Amino acid sequence: MLAVVPPPVTVRVPAKVNLHLAVGDQRDDGYHDLVTIFQALSLTDEVTVAVADDPGVEVSGEGADVVPTGPSNLAWRAVRVLAEHAGRDADDPKVRVVIKKSIPVAGGMAGGSADAAATLIGLAALWRLEITKDELAGLAATIGADVPFALYGGTALGTDRGDRIVPVLARHQFHWVLAFDKGGLSTPEVFGELDRLRAEGDPPRVGEAEAVLEGLASGDPRQLALLLGNDLQAAAVSLRPNLRRTLRAGVNAGALAGMVSGSGPTCAFLCTDGDAAVRVAAELAGAGVCRTVRVAQGPVHGARVVGTEEAP
C-alpha cells in the first residue's frame, strides 16, 4: 500500500518590538533578568515545512545570504526539538524547511526565533501531533527566550529571560515605521556593552512596566509614546553611533517617538496613525540615514498556518 504524504504546511510569523525592555544586572549564570513588553508586528517571515528525502533548510529574502542553513539555523533546532518530543528520529527527520525572510537578520526583531516558532507550528500540523500551544511554548523556551512570544503574538509581558509571558490588554492598533540598518548587531555583544557602560557609570534605566501597561490600555499612541523605553538602547547606540542620527531623523519626520528595537540596530518609530506612518516612512527613506524603511502595525497574532497545498 502507498503511504500518503501529507501536503506542505506554510506558516506566517511576526517580528516583535519591545515597547519596554528593563535589563537587570548580570546574574552569576551570565544571564540578565528581563522585564519586557513585546508587541507582534505585521512584518512577517513565511516558513513552509514539507516531508522530504533531502532534509535541510533553504532561506531566501531579506538578509538570506548571512543566515546559516545548517544545524545552527533556529528553525532546524525547532525541527530537532519537536522530533525528539514526538519520538521521531531527530537525526533524520525527513523534512525540508523553506524560509522566506522579511524580518531583518540580527536586527533586534527576533527573526530567527520567529522562524523557530513557525517551524514548531508547521511541523505539529504536518505531523498531525496532538499538542497544545502551551506545550509547544515549553519546547520553544528550550530553543530561545524569544521563541514562546512568537507563538502567541499580540502584546505580552515577558519576565525571567523574557520567556515567561502573559498576555496584555492593548486597545487599538498602533502604527510603526521601522528603519533597518546596514548589517546586524550580535545580541550577546550588545548585552556585554551594557555591562561595560554600567561598570563605568550608571546609565539611566527605564521606569516601571506598569506605566506602559496603562498607556497600552488607553489606546492613545501619544500617551504610549512618552513611556517607551529600552535599557539596551544606550549600548546599541554606543556600538553603532549612526543610530543617533536615525532616531533623530524619525522624530524630525513626525514620529511621536523613536527607539532601538531590542538589541538593535533596527529603529522603531511610533506614529499617530497609518497615514502619519506612511509620511514618516517616506521622509525617513529620503533622509538617507538607514538601509530600508518599512511600515507595520501591531499587535498582530502569533505564528499561524496560512496554507497547505492539498492536492486538487
- 168-187 residues in contact with ligand ATP (CB under 6 A) are 184, 187
Using CA atoms, how far residue 283 sits from 179, 250, 289, 293, in Å, is 12, 8, 10, 10
Closer Cβ to ligand ATP, 184 or 298, answer by number: 184
Closer Cβ to ligand ATP, 78 or 276, answer by number: 78
Q: Which of 31, 58, 68, 274 binds ligand ATP (CB under 6 A)?
A: 68
The separation between the first and the last C-alpha atoms of the chain, rounded to the nearest angstrom, is: 21
**Contact map string, positions 108 to 147, toward ligand ATP, x by CB under 6 A:** xxxxxx-x------------------------------x-
Q: Which of 36, 44, 73, 230 binds ligand ATP (CB under 6 A)?
A: 73
The radius of gyration of the chain's CA atoms, rounded to the nearest angstrom, is: 19
Distance CA 206, CA 203 (A): 10
- Residue 37, H or E segment: strand 32-51
Burial of 210 (0-12, 13-18, 19+ CB in 10 A): exposed
Choose the binding region for ligand ATP from 20-28, 71-79, 127-135, 274-282 (rule: CB under 6 A). 71-79
Distance CA 40, CA 239 (A): 26
Closer Cβ to ligand ATP, 82 or 253, answer by number: 82
Closer Cβ to ligand ATP, 74 or 178, answer by number: 74
Residues 6+ apart with CB under 8 A from 46: 10, 11, 12, 13, 99, 100, 102, 118, 306
Choose the binding region for ligand ATP from 24-32, 69-77, 237-245, 288-296 (rule: CB under 6 A). 69-77
Q: Quick check: 81 binds ligand ATP (CB under 6 A)?
A: no
Distance CA 55, CA 69 (A): 11
Cell triple for residue 14?
511576526
Residue 10: strand pairing partners: 48, 307
The least CB distance from residue 50 to ligand ATP, in Å, is: 17
Active site residues: 16, 146
Closer Cβ to ligand ATP, 67 or 83, answer by number: 67
Size of the site for ligand ATP (CB under 6 A): 22
Helix 133-143 vs helix 74-85: crossing angle, to nearest 10: 130
Closer Cβ to ligand ATP, 163 or 225, answer by number: 163
Output the residue with the shortest Cβ distance to ligand ATP: 112
Q: In terms of Cα–Cα distance, which of 276, 253, 257, 278 is closest to 268?
A: 257
Which contacts (CB < 8 Å, 24+ apart) does range 239-243 have?
Answer: 239/185, 239/189, 239/190, 239/193, 239/264, 240/181, 240/185, 240/264, 240/265, 242/181, 242/289, 243/181, 243/267
**Contact map string, positions 228 to 267, toward ligand ATP, x by CB under 6 A:** ----------------------------------xx----
Cell triple for residue 82?
519537536
The least CB distance from residue 189 to ligand ATP, in Å, is: 10
The least CB distance from residue 186 to ligand ATP, in Å, is: 7
Q: Quick check: 75 binds ligand ATP (CB under 6 A)?
A: yes
Q: Quick check: 67 binds ligand ATP (CB under 6 A)?
A: yes
- 84-113 residues in contact with ligand ATP (CB under 6 A) are 99, 105-113
Distance CA 98, CA 30 (A): 34
Binding site for ligand ATP (CB under 6 A): 67-68, 72-75, 99, 105-113, 115, 146, 184, 187, 262-263
